[in-house]
A and B are shown apart, each in its own frame.
Chain A
């Protein structure tokens, strides 16, 4: 059981390291989905939000880590 828990934790660790980064990426994707489905935003503009959002999230995550140390 302990072994399976370790494996599960390791698998989760493949995708989640910095909680802020993971959560912000998921929120960005949700926002893009809402923009497309609920507000019928031009798909290409929503794509731009996705790309820009992911780059922004990465930069903020680095900035937070750098300033926390």
Chain B
């Protein structure tokens, strides 16, 4: 029972970070694939997406065995630094959006922009229209998928939890596809900025944890230190939103 609790306390942050981050990424990819499918037909959208998934699978197939050969400390340090860069970037963006310094991400607006650009490009280059549409879907799946792959590897690799993290990501993909194909519209009602804020907090906490482990810092409480780091980044995020809003008010006054 105790070992099960310990396993869950280790796996839960990795699985939830992978699920939530993948939710954000898959929704963004879905919006673009939906735009391609609506404008140029589903055959192209699905072919482009399938090609993107094949390239992603190849990258994972090549990277996976290579990661096993690296010394654990190096891997923890490299993954930790990348997680810090990635997580703090997400957290910063979410804070700036909450403060009103940059506009909130709007899936309906993104869908409208993508469809109008696709229409314009396919009209300009009529003979290459199918190619452009296919490449657009391919690029969306590949780039958003790369983020998902990175997050799964980053949060799972340290404790051999890649399988669990991948399950979290797969659940997000299944959820978005099921809801997306049922409604056939961009998933605009998902609170994307709240998700981005939460994932930014989690990934930054993981980043500090792995970077420290890679440098030889023995965190007190082991994995439980992650909870403390999460709280620290959560508080810092809330404080930063207030600070930014105050700066705007001062600038207006």
CB within 8 Å for A62 and B95 given contacts A25-B85, A29-B84, A50-B211: yes
**Chain B residues in 8 Å Cβ range of A25:** 81, 84-85, 88
CB distance from A46 to the nearest CB of B (A): 6
Describe A's contact surface by its main secondary structure: helix
Instruction: Assess whether A7 is in contact with B142, with CB atoms less than 8 Å apart.
Output: yes
Interface flag for B187 (CB, 8 Å): no
Describe B's contact surface by its main secondary structure: helix
CB nearest to A22 among chain B residues: B85
How many residues does chain A have at the interface if contact means C-beta atoms less than 8 Å apart?
36
User: In B53-97, which residues have CB < 8 Å from any A CB?
Assistant: 81-82, 84-86, 88-89, 91-93, 95-96
CB within 8 Å for A65 and B212 given contacts A25-B85, A44-B217, A59-B243: no
Partner of A43 from B82, B217, B244 at Cβ < 8 Å: B217
Measuring CB to CB, which residues of chain A are less than 8 angstroms from any residue of chain B? Answer: 3, 6-7, 10-11, 14-18, 21-22, 25-26, 29, 32-33, 36, 43-44, 46-47, 50-51, 54-55, 57-59, 61-63, 65-67, 69
- Name 16 A/B residue pairs within 8 A (Cβ), A-sorted: A6-B139, A11-B143, A11-B146, A25-B81, A43-B218, A44-B217, A44-B220, A50-B217, A55-B233, A57-B88, A58-B233, A65-B92, A65-B101, A66-B101, A66-B248, A67-B247
